[in-house]
Chains A and B, each alone.
Chain A
Amino acid sequence: MSQNKDKLLIDVGSTYFKVSTSEHIEQHFRDFNKDIFDDLKYKCGEIISRYAKADVNICSSANGGLSALIIGVTHTFSLKFATNIAFNSGINIIDTILYQNIEEYSVPSDLVDVVIVVGGIDSHSNIFSDSLYNYLAQLNYSNLVFVGSEQEASSIKDNIEHAVVLPNIIDDRLHIVEEHLKEYLTNLYQQDIEGKEDIKNLYDITSNQIYSTPYIVNKALPLIDARFSIVNPFILLDIGGATTDIHYSKDLVDDNIVTENEYDRLVFKKLGVYKSKQSLIFAAKNNEFVYELLTHLKVTENIFDEQSEKATKVLMQLAVFLVLCKMSHYKKSYINLKLLAVNSIVLTGGVTKVLAVEDIEYIISFFYKKILTSDHNPVVVLDSNYDIWTLGAQGNELCQ
């Protein structure tokens, strides 16, 4: 950290604040009755006052991020490409819609921050028609971006007020083109942060841009060797209070997506142990292996109703297990990772404060034995000092 001696790094999570200086790192449980800024000043006012605005860097996942709904014409190309770009831009996807069946989908009642419409290479036309506009007329959304065939752009613009049209994310060889949509979504995220009263106030203590935490973590991955001895390929699980993020090396997917990113990100929105505890329990009860795992952990399902350290620990262990299940071939999802090729599993976020390496190793070997019927045993690395986040924040700072 020597080159960044005088920086103060702050991460505002859904459950905790983390504050890091060159000397030490501290974390505080948030007071949800207070405004974020007031709470932060109350708990860390003294440290903050020692730093000039230019020396403070903040990232946040506290506003939950932006919600996106994606409408595309195929699973393999348009929906997959847009999903990949959205995840890598730190956006949460609430649903993906296969356009040809759009009439069969229910319309979400919550406000959607951004709708992404995509489909067709530039030489293809007559792809979208009234069924799209009828659906959108019922949907409550703040922004709409079109990133499909350029020949469709004018009818989209004619039919949808305020539609933003960007270059196609699918090129003429059916390859992905990321930069335009990624930039748009990242900017939208910034605007969202700036618009939220709670976060907006944080600009009183920093003159630097506030980034989303997953964006910062993703930045850290190419630098991870500097702090940990990790054998590639690896996956990183960021298990926190509201969501679980997975970052993985590209080598772990067989994919038609060819990009320059070395690492991709994937989010499971409702797998957290604090704010989304209930949906974590719901997912656990629906997994046929969980009861066996509970028996191995020497607890019963009554643990779900308990409020104790032990209960939090078990929930964290279940979160690790469920995330691995969701990414394996056992469950078909947007992407399946080649988990048998993983050599290291790195854990960061709240999980590192609750579980010890042995607790996690236990779950991981249970997962490999039961679900993948293998003795494979990747090395568990615990980022208990938030080094990854500091690394990313500094890395980002150096790039500015």
Chain B
Amino acid sequence: MKVITGVVGNDIHVVANRLIDLSLRARGFEVFNLGVNTYLEEFFDAAVETGAEVLLISSLNGEAEGWGREVKALKAKYKTLDDLIMMIGGNLVVGSGNAEDIVPRYKNYGFDLVCHQVDLNTGLDLLEVFIEDKKLQKSNK
């Protein structure tokens, strides 16, 4: 399964990005890593060019909030991304915040899976479960 990953906006924290790349590969995903400093349009465009099923965005420095608000409007411009699984993780707000507030907000922005300060492996387990569920739903239809 193809996954696009990268760190959104002007964020240059690269360590998590490398780990995500390695962990996804170890789990058998085909990874397209756009690296740090990646803009939303580049993420979506990469999904179009590759036919990826999953978009996994990281944000560490707190910028995600600003970008999150633009996700829905931008994604609506694309005609082939309706089935794209959207995931985001890292430090999703500036300063501290609690997951109960943050998760619903980001879901509202258009993300299926939201992992604020969640350990990577836990997050990727969630992703795999989500993918399985989606497959089941599809085959039941």
Contact = CB atoms under 8 A, between A and B. Distances in A.
A285 B51 CA distance: 44
A125 B51 contact: yes
B135 interface: no
Say what secondary structure dominates the interface of chain A: loop
Interface in A56-89: 73-78
A124 interface: yes
A121 B48 contact: no
A123 B79 CA distance: 20
A173 interface: yes
A31 to B, nearest CB: 49
Interface string B31-54: 010100000011011101111000
Interface string A115-144: 000011101110100000000000000000
A33 to B, nearest CB: 50
A77 B51 contact: no
A247 to B, nearest CB: 26
A189 B100 CA distance: 62
B79 A77 contact: no
A73, A121, A123: most-surrounded residue (chain B CB, <10 A): A121
Contacts of B48: 73-74
Given A74-B48, A100-B79, A120-B51, A174 B41 contact: no
B130 interface: no
A170 interface: yes
A361 to B, nearest CB: 34
A159 interface: no
Nearest to B43: A76
Given A173-B32, A174-B32, A77 B49 contact: yes
A173 B32 CA distance: 7
A256 interface: yes
Given A120-B49, A174-B46, A76 B79 contact: no
B78 interface: yes
Contacts of A73: 48-49
B49 to A, nearest CB: 5
B80 interface: yes
Contacts of A120: 49-51
B45 A77 contact: yes
B51 A76 contact: no
A124 B45 CA distance: 13
B49 A119 contact: yes
A239 B129 CA distance: 60
Given A100-B78, A100-B80, A78 B51 contact: no
A127 B51 CA distance: 9
B33 to A, nearest CB: 9
Nearest to A100: B79
Given A124-B51, A174-B32, A77 B78 contact: no
B30, B41, B42: most-surrounded residue (chain A CB, <10 A): B42
Given A75-B41, A174-B32, A256-B42, A124 B50 contact: yes
Given A76-B46, A256-B42, 18 more contacts: A76-B41, A76-B42, A77-B45, A77-B46, A78-B49, A100-B78, A100-B80, A120-B50, A120-B51, A123-B50, A123-B51, A124-B49, A125-B51, A170-B49, A173-B32, A174-B32, A174-B49, A256-B34
16 contacts: A73-B48, A74-B44, A74-B49, A76-B41, A76-B42, A76-B45, A77-B45, A77-B46, A100-B80, A120-B50, A124-B51, A170-B49, A173-B32, A174-B34, A174-B49, A174-B50
Closest 7 CB pairs of A and B: A74-B45, A76-B45, A124-B51, A100-B79, A77-B49, A76-B42, A74-B48
Interface of B: 2, 30, 32, 34, 41-42, 44-46, 48-51, 78-80
